Amino acid sequence: MKKQEKKKVGRRNLLKLGSMGIAALAATEAVKRIQATEKIITAKRKMAMVIDLRRCYGCHACAVSCKSENGVNLGAFRSWVNQVEIGKYPYFKRYFLPRQCNHCDRPPCIKVCPTGATYKREDGVVLINKDRCIGCRYCMTACPYDARSFVWHRRSVTGGRGWRTLERYESLDFPARRYGVVDKCDLCVHRIDKGLVPACVNTCPAEARIIGDLQDPNNEVTKIVSTRAVSVLYSDANTGPHVFYRGLHIDVAEKAVEVGPAMQSISSDRSAAQNI
């Protein structure tokens, strides 16, 4: 009788200890995971881009070169140009606003990602691990800059999109076209890691774009950002964007939403392409 009681108590204690141990393990694991992702990145390199809007004349070459470099899916852009008309005839002007992922310091997209598929590299570039992304598109709703897109169409068994066969452009394979995951600007990491500049910077005929390392005090980008009047989009969000604009008209920043005629035609092309 006595022996039995002893045994019972032992089992209960074991259960207690075990559950406490599991809880402690879970807690430390949670803390570790939070620390790992919230840690402030201090690396040798910190990539940033400066776009001089006084030079930009709206040729959309950056958007085109980005699409051909990365093979961005039909209907999506990693880099694009908004245009806004401000004022009334005869005193008005058309402004251009090249846009892309801002590679924020405190990216809202990374915060909400449930699997850690989107992450910040040591040098500040925000990337997507396409093998980890579950395609919940939470990051798309969280991004204040509307910079993310999704690959909606799966290449079907017939090798086409739905019942339709693919256009030649679509039939090529690119990581940006992988079905069911989110895609966005990766600052052309495959190029910058080899010491080249991103495709948009390379192609800009007005030399409105420069890319550089903010940690290097002698870099052109660092000099501009620290000594000139630069601004970022929607600074109220306090996300710490790393795409800086020179000569950003305040109304352009706010009204970039009113899509100009050229973009409208692109949008309707896009929706026509999607509706096929």
Partner 1 sequence: MKDKITSDLMRPVFETGAKYYLTVTVLAGIVLWGLFAWIYQLTFGLGVSGMKNSVAWGLYITNFVFFIGISHAGTLVSAILRLTNAEWRRPITRIAETVAVFALFLGGIQIIFDLGHPDRVLDVIIYGRYQSPLLWDITCIGIYLMSCIFYLYLPLIPDIAALRDNLPVNIPGWRRKFYHKLSIGWVGSEKQRRYLHKVLAVMAVAIIPIAVSVHTVVSWVFGMTLRPMWHSTIFGPYFVTGALYSGIATVIIAMAVMRKAYNLGSYMKSIHFDNLGKLLILMVCLWFYFIFSEFLTTGYGTFLYELKVFHSKVSGEFAPIFWGMVSCMAAAFFLLLFRKRLGVIGATTLASVFVNVGMWLERFTIIVPSLTKPLQEGYKAGLYQPTWVEWSITLGSFAGFALALSIFYKLFPVVSIWEEKEEEDIPQVVKRIETYLPSEETG
Smallest gap, in angstroms, from Cβ of residue 79 to partner 1?
A: 10
Q: Does 28 bind partner 1 (CB under 8 A)?
A: no
Pick the closest to residue 175 from 234, 242, 128, 113 (CA basis).
128
Find the part of the chain contacting partner 1 (CB under 8 A) among 7-15, 208-216, 220-228, 259-267. Answer: 259-267
For the beta carbon of residue 158, count every other beta carbon within 10 angstroms.
Answer: 11
Interface with partner 1 (CB under 8 A), residue from 45, 64, 85, 152? 152
Cα-atom radius of gyration of the chain, to the nearest Å? Answer: 24
Count how many residues are written for the chain: 276
Pick the closest to residue 253 from 243, 261, 266 (CA basis).
243
Smallest gap, in angstroms, from Cβ of residue 221 to partner 1?
A: 22
Nearer to partner 1, 70 or 82 (CB): 82
Q: What is the DSSP annotation of 20-63?
A: HHHHHHHHHHHHHHHHHHHSPP--S--EEEEEETTT-----HHH
Provide the mask over 96-135, with x wherever binding to partner 1 is found by CB under 8 A and - wherever it is not. ---x--------x--xxxxxx---------------xxxx
Q: Does 174 bind partner 1 (CB under 8 A)?
A: no
Residues 231, 256: Cα–Cα separation, whole Å: 15
Binding residues vs partner 1 (CB under 8 A) = 30, 33-34, 37-38, 75-77, 80, 82, 99, 108, 111-116, 132-138, 140-147, 149-154, 156-157, 161-162, 179-182, 233-234, 237, 254, 256-257, 259, 263-264, 266-267, 270-271, 274
